[in-house]
Amino acid sequence: MLELPPRLRAILAQEYPRFSDVEYARRHRALQAVMETAGVDHLLVVTDHRTGNAPQWVTGWPGTVEAYVVFRPGETSTMHVEWFNHFPLAKRLARDCDVRWGEHRGMALTIAELKKRGAKRVGLMGPLLARKQRELEKEFSLVELDIEYVRLRLIKSEEELDWLRIGAAFSDAGFAALLAGTRPGMTERELGNLVERAYVGEGGTTFIHFIGVTSMADPQLYVPPQFHSARKVRDGDVVFCELSGSFWDYSGQVLRSFTVGTEPTPLYRDLHATAESAFDAVTAVVRHGTTMDEILDAASVIEERGFTVCDDLMHGFGGGYFPPILGTKSRPAGPLPNMTLEENMTVVVQPNVIAGDRPAGVQVGELIRVTRTGYERLHDAPRGFFRA
């Protein structure tokens, strides 16, 4: 069983967990403000071909295949969904929403609904196939609002933070099971199975479990791969992982490394010590108002010790992969975001320190909450370079 406080256990125990009316009212006010700024009279919130989670944030329905939500403040939303066998559960989960079957012509029905409501200028949130967007543009003036949706998701409410704590607990349980269960002779696929068995029975799902296995004496891998192979674990290996168990669309993320059957080699000891130092240095500057340059300067310990990174050093997380997405001075992650950290952002600090002269690396880090004066751990997984 997961170690959860009674408040979080009560959320998990609900038949279908749901946010409060107060939380949905907050979200809808935020949407109204975006609409007023953009000068749109209606909002179309989209999941299309299993991509996009905005309808879940607005209504509580995860979207599955297609979900087209017509939203206007003060009116009952309308949502067309596919497929017909998904329709009964969508009606049950979607909050304050007239849910209708899309009849495999959901965009045509959505356009008809918008016309019925007198829509002229429509805001669009979520990915949409190009041909469907062209159909909309024939009838309405369309304003894309994906950037505004991302901004709405950057700052978490107290209720959202509780759901993230559950996702973090799932992720921690997955790592504990991986560390306790790893044995020579197991394949990477079996390691992934260990992770999932720790939380699926508790209501969790998998966002990712990237697991890398390589020899410390002859390393061939410096970042965990996205798909498991049939390679078998051997004594003298290092296992390094990035695990995200999810509670609906609220995932934790824990990154750890451990050896199998032996102590770390000098190279891996140095890599891991550097990663831990970088995590401590970065989190030491995290607070409301932290600049991107402060974070990069803090991470310079990696280059000072002769190493670099492969994975991003930091990224926003919790409902999506959000800004700020940062690398390091030796491996930038693109243009430096023009922003500062804000209270109640949730970010992953994850120094994947790698050797520059050979394919060797480690993973360290986890999801944290930015506070006014520092940060809060959302995970309980112990830190360290472990041994299986």
- Contact at 8 Å (CB) between 125 and 54? yes
Res. 331 pLDDT band, cuts 50 70 90: very high
Q: Which residues, other chains included, contact 388 with Cβ-Cβ below 8 Å and sequence gap of 6+?
A: 179, 180, 182, 183, 239, 258, 259, 260, 261
Res. 40 pLDDT band, cuts 50 70 90: very high
What CA–CA distance (Å, rounded) separates 174 from 165?
14
pLDDT, position 2: 78
Domain map of the chain by residue range? Answer: 6-154, 158-387
Identical fold, 6-154 and 158-387: no
Question: What is the DSSP-derived secondary structure letter of residue 328?
Answer: -
Q: Is residue 288 predicted with pLDDT exceeding 80?
A: yes
Which structure tokens are listed for 243?
A: 């695990």
The full length of the chain comes to 388
Res. 26 pLDDT band, cuts 50 70 90: very high
**Which class in CATH covers the domain with range 6-154?**
alpha beta
Q: Which residues, other chains included, contact 280 with Cβ-Cβ below 8 Å and sequence gap of 6+?
A: none
Which structure tokens are listed for 281?
A: 């240095």
Alpha-helix runs per DSSP H in 121-227: 130-139, 146-154, 158-181, 188-197
Look up the CATH architecture of domain 158-387.
Answer: Alpha-Beta Complex (3.90)
Interval 131-149 mean pLDDT: 97
Q: What's the predicted TM-score (pTM) here?
A: 0.96
- Contact at 8 Å (CB) between 98 and 26? no
- Contact at 8 Å (CB) between 338 and 289? no
What CA–CA distance (Å, rounded) separates 215 from 200?
30
Res. 1 pLDDT band, cuts 50 70 90: low
